[in-house]
A = this chain, B = another copy of it.
Amino acid sequence: VTRPSPLSGFPEFLPSQRQAELAVIEQLRRTFELHGFANIETRSVETLEQLLSKGDIDNEVYTIRRLHGSDDDPGTGLGLHYDLTVPLARYVVERAGKLEFPFRRYQIQRAWRGERPQEGRFREFTQADIDIVGRDELAQHYDVEVVAVMAEAMSQLPVPTLEIQLNNRLLIEGFYRGVGAADPFAVMRVIDKLDKLRPPQVREQLVETVGLTDAQATQCLGLATIRTTDTSFVGRVHGLGVEHPLLDDGLQQLADAIEGCQPFVGDRLRVFADLRIARGLSYYTGTVFETRMTGFEQVGSVCSGGRYDALASDGRTTFPGVGISFGITRTLHPLITRGLLDSDRSVPSAVLVALVDEVTRRASGDVANRLRARGIPAEVAASAQKYGRQIRYAERRGIPFVWFPPRPGDSSGRHEVRDIRSGVQQPVDLESWMPPERDLHPRVVLKEQP
């Protein structure tokens, strides 16, 4: 028998770590549901035709196939989805007649990519997506809503400060057109390199590759330097003296989105209008959204999305959408593996009911059931060892309280509870005792980064 070992790129957590992940998932779900987003789950597989329709992802797709299967076996021509957007698009077209539009959905599922694993890149990972999908049209206010809901959700998570960066494709396209660029998307492609190249090199490419004049290149680079926490970017863009109707639309849309996020700005969340970001070159047609986690910029954007005017189409009907995807694994894995994020128990139990002897196991079980009836997670000790060892059983799991039922022959019938952190043990009433609210469920603990 060989001892199994972890598979690179397929992360797994210990129980206390999973508690922390689960708490994050529940927090996200709660926010999404309060805003009326309905949950769906899609199958894990799509046809290769669907998976490959979105472009340059071919080499990352995992196909599935029956072991020893023949070519016409179930599974042939199927692959695991690499995001939750392709499945959503297919689900919407397949069930359009049975859905109500605008269709507001959230989806929290795994996805798979055959990538080389590295920091922030996994072969199997979990995402939490919200999208609003319209039929034929989708009002602009949904961009503001989706952005604000995700900002609210992220502002409540037990993670380092998150920085949302917002931009709008109409804004930059309009600006480049207003500048006089013949091919605004070529400008985007070059400006997008500001991540890797220094501004003089980018300027050179704008002039030599895209054919801008030096003055035009200066204006485009000027736009890319604008980054504000409020709507003051509007005045700064106007100060560049460029005009175009698309630019006006984009400025208004971005200003609305920035304002929609303001209620959630604080220590946990910052929001910027950042006129440099474009989020790739295809796909998005309006709002674009990305997010960096402070101290973990190297993992890339942990939450991204935007508006796509043609999420899906069945040939006759087009379904525009706006959506954002939060990378649960990408956000939590670096925190958990560094020991920065965890929970304070490896079990849900708030109480371990001690065992006087094996004969009275049922009596201890009855105590546990009374506690459970009040919503208190409880378990009974594994065996009737000395109390010191039963307390150790609780300590090793992080269970905060040990309950001692009366010993047989103890005419007082007195129950006692010990808080194993303080060592204080007190008589309690079986019918009414409750742990403090903060001890009822495992608590998520985020340590400051050293």
Residues on A facing B (Cβ under 8 Å): 1-15, 18-19, 22, 33-45, 47-50, 58-69, 73-75, 78-80, 90-91, 93-95, 98-100, 102, 104-105, 110, 112, 114-117, 123-124, 139, 141, 313-315, 346-349, 361, 372, 375-379, 382-383, 393, 396-397
Contacts and interface: CB of A to CB of B under 8 A. Distances in A.
16 contacts: A1-B314, A12-B91, A14-B99, A19-B38, A34-B372, A38-B347, A58-B67, A59-B66, A61-B66, A62-B64, A64-B80, A69-B114, A75-B123, A100-B393, A100-B396, A141-B361
A4 B66 contact: no
A76 to B, nearest CB: 10
A232 to B, nearest CB: 21
Given A7-B43, A61-B67, A382-B102, A15 B38 contact: yes
Given A38-B346, A64-B65, 16 more contacts: A6-B94, A15-B38, A15-B99, A15-B105, A18-B40, A34-B348, A34-B378, A35-B378, A36-B347, A37-B348, A58-B68, A59-B66, A59-B67, A63-B65, A74-B114, A141-B361
B114 A36 contact: no
A3 B406 CA distance: 68
Nearest to A369: B263
A65 B67 contact: no
Can you tell how many copies of this chain the complex includes? 2
A4 B45 CA distance: 13
Contacts of A349: 36
A42 B12 contact: yes
Contact of A4 (B10, B48, B50, B393): B50
A78 B80 CA distance: 14
A79 B10 CA distance: 13
Contacts of A95: 14
Shortest beta-carbon contacts, A-B, top 5: A36-B379, A36-B349, A66-B114, A10-B43, A33-B348
B66 A60 contact: yes
Nearest to A398: B100
Contacts of A116: 74
A45 B13 contact: no
Nearest to A313: B1
B79 A114 contact: no
Contacts of A10: 43-45
A114 B124 CA distance: 20
A3 B62 contact: no
Nearest to A17: B40
Given A73-B114, A116-B74, A39 B63 contact: no
Contact of A35 (B314, B346, B377): B377
Contacts of A110: 44
A64 B63 contact: yes
Contact of A63 (B8, B67, B347): B67
A138 B262 CA distance: 55
A12 B41 contact: yes
Contact of A75 (B62, B75, B314, B376): B62
Nearest to A87: B12
Contact of A377 (B36, B141, B383): B36
A40 B13 contact: yes
Contacts of A112: 44, 64
Contacts of A48: 67
A66 B59 CA distance: 7
B93 A4 contact: yes
A114 B393 CA distance: 42
A447 to B, nearest CB: 19
